[in-house]
Amino acid sequence: MINQNERLQKKLSITLAALEEISKSEEKIKLGCLVYSGATFDAKIARKALKDIGR
């Protein structure tokens, strides 16, 4: 019974560690999307400014 409990504890700790890594990855993806969105918005502003200068 003790061995089974130890194995379950080990599996749970591995699962928890994996879930924590997934969570970190999701945060990085969200941050990357925000950075990309900001860069896209900046590019739109820059293109508009170039068009305005060209007129």
CA distance 45 to 37: 13
Rounded distance, CA 50 to CA 9, Å?
61
Diameter over CA atoms, the chain = 81
- How far apart are the C-alpha atoms of 45 and 13, rounded to whole Å? 48
pTM for the whole thing?
Answer: 0.59
1-34 pLDDT per residue, tens: 789 999 999 999 999 999 999 999 999 999 899 8
pLDDT (0 to 100) of residue 1: 76
